[in-house]
Amino acid sequence: MRIAIACDHAGFALKPTIAKVVADLGHEIINLGTDNPDVPVDYPDMAEVLGKAIQSEEADRGILICGSGVGGAIAANKMNGIRASVCHDSYSAAQGVDHDDMNVLCLGGRIVGSALATELVKAFLFASFSGEDRHVRRLNKVKALEQQ
């Protein structure tokens, strides 16, 4: 898969760990920045860049890192077709894909350490959407909400 990775300055320290995990799993990395932790970058700007990469099909999924993960998730979810969630446990990181077709994993660089981040990224990337009728039905309802 092609995995877009973006972060603001608060998520920068966790980004190399995540990039290594993604690469070690054999996925293509699309680095969307930031690449300088000393220059403040607003998380909505990074969410937009990452969301556009998914919308244009340049990336299959994305990983967005900000201070808590919350702001990134809120901003990313404003974009059509983006299903982002902050996940700080491996069950949610996998189940979000399996049941909800989550395509953006949001992490808090100030919340999770590198060992947990590694587990979360693996859970997110190994998971796939189940396609079960009940999950498709619910996903279609979510997509309908985007059109309101």
* CATH number for 57: 3.40.1400.10
Say how many domains are in the chain.
Answer: 1
89-147 pLDDT per residue, tens: 999 999 999 999 999 999 999 999 999 999 999 999 999 999 999 999 999 999 999 98
Any catalytic annotation for residue 99? Answer: yes
Q: What is the pLDDT of residue 3?
A: 98
- Selecting among 7, 9, 66, 106, the annotated active-site residue is 66
Q: What angle do CA 60, 66, 59 make, to 5 degrees?
A: 10
- Selecting among 7, 27, 88, 99, the annotated active-site residue is 99
Q: What is the pLDDT of residue 4?
A: 98
Nearest to 35 by CA among 1, 11, 55: 11
- Its domain, for residue 123, covers 2-146
69-92 pLDDT per residue, tens: 999 999 999 999 999 999 999 999
Mean pLDDT value across residues 38-63: 97
Report the mean per-residue pLDDT for the chain: 97
Contact by Cβ (8 Å): 90, 117: no
Q: What is the pLDDT of residue 66?
A: 97
Measured distance CA(136)–CA(88) in Å, rounded: 25
